[in-house]
């Protein structure tokens, strides 16, 4: 989550999430540390001094002009006004299809999340990337990632829940969505929001959480109806402190669930634009998530 009280950690987190490269990170940190040496020390302290972003494996990213999809921005009714979203439909497969809502990190509906939305459509789902900055005019109003993070920090839990539910109910009722079957996948702050949506939306069929903060108290999980799959990095130690209470809460329910912790992976390991990207963990987790949705949303084979 974005925290305005610690700008240095905010900038490091944004770098890990792919907001800007190492050189720009150092340049931004100097404004707070006063020197390149101090900025470099802050990066080293975060374990990122020698981190390298591996090349994205061929075929992971999906371009907007890919012949297998049809993509574009849409506007729907939200409780707080117009709600913006990036909708991607699979081509060359018979509609209707099950749907997946993609919930962004704490920088809004950026190009990386649009790409992830296209990946879900390429896997055969109607995919909708929701913009949780819609009440502030949309992510396009905040081209700088720090400003986008600050805008996200101004959002409220109830407002985000209302917007996610508006997207869910609108998408569910579309003629091209099969039987109202809708799942959701979220990353980082979006993973936390995915938990919230799953707990508060019996209409949701399945939820996939990538390194999202576990609800506290986790007892709320016991009222959750969707099937759940979660993905976490072994080295994401602060976040992983919530996993024992999550597991305890899940074991007390009749819900279908599975949790996966990837050895050697850090927070944001799925984001192929960031410093923590782990291709092996990311590809395995994504494949598991798509198989999970296919199974629980009863998706016909493509």
Buried-exposed string 217-238: b where 16+ CB fall within 10 A, e elsewhere: ebeebeebbbbbbbbbbebbee
Contact by Cβ (8 Å): 236, 261: no
Sheet of strand 97-103: strand arrangement: 69-78, 81-90, 126-130, 97-103, 177-187, 206-210, 227-233, 257-262
Residue-range domains of the chain with CATH: 7-45 (no CATH), 69-296 (3.40.50.1820)
Report pTM: 0.84
Question: Which pLDDT value is given to residue 217?
Answer: 86
Question: Which pLDDT value is given to residue 22?
Answer: 62
Question: Which pLDDT value is given to residue 113?
Answer: 98
Among 128, 132, 112, which residue's Cα sits nearest to residue 69? 128
Taking the CA atoms of 216, 218, 222 and 227 in sequence, report the sign of the dihedral they define: positive
Q: What is the pLDDT along the chain (302 residues), one digit of tens a residue?
A: 434 458 877 777 677 666 666 666 666 766 777 655 555 566 656 655 444 444 556 678 999 999 999 999 999 999 999 999 999 999 988 889 999 999 999 999 999 999 999 999 999 999 999 999 999 999 999 999 999 999 999 999 999 999 999 999 999 999 999 988 999 999 999 999 999 999 999 999 999 999 999 998 888 898 899 999 999 999 999 899 999 999 999 988 878 899 999 999 999 999 999 989 999 999 999 999 999 999 999 866 65
Q: How far apart are CA 91 and CA 94, in angstroms?
A: 8
CA dihedral 9, 14, 18, 20 (to 10 degrees): -90
């Amino acid at each position: 989550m974005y925290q305005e009280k610690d700008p240095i950690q905010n900038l490091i987190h944004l770098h890990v999430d792919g907001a800007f490269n190492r050189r720009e990170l150092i340049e931004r940190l100097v404004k707070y540390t006063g020197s390149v040496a101090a900025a470099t020390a802050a990066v080293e302290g975060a374990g990122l001094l020698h981190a390298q972003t591996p090349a994205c494996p061929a075929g992971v990213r999906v371009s907007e002009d890919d012949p297998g999809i049809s993509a574009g921005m849409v506007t729907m009714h939200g409780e707080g006004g117009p709600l913006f979203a990036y909708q991607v439909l699979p081509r060359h497969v018979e509609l209707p299809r099950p749907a997946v809502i993609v919930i962004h990190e704490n920088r809004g509906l950026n190009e990386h999340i649009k790409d992830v939305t296209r990946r879900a459509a390429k896997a055969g789902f109607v995919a909708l990337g929701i913009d949780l900055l819609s009440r502030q005019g949309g992510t396009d109003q905040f081209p700088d990632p720090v400003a986008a993070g600050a805008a996200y920090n101004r959002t409220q839990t109830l407002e985000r829940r209302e917007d996610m539910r508006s997207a869910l109910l609108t998408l569910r009722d579309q003629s091209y969505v099969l039987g109202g079957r809708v799942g959701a996948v979220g990353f980082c702050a979006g993973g936390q929001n995915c938990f919230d949506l799953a707990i508060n939306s019996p209409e949701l069929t399945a939820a996939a959480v990538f390194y999202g903060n576990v609800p506290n108290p986790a007892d709320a999980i016991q009222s959750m109806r969707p099937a759940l799959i979660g993905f976490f990095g072994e080295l994401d130690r602060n976040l992983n402190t919530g996993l024992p209470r999550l597991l305890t809460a899940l074991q007390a329910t009749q819900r279908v669930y599975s949790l996966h912790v990837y050895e050697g992976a850090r927070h944001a390991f799925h984001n192929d634009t960031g410093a923590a990207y782990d291709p092996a963990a990311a590809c395995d987790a994504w494949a598991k998530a798509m198989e999970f949705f296919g199974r629980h949303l009863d998706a016909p084979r493509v």
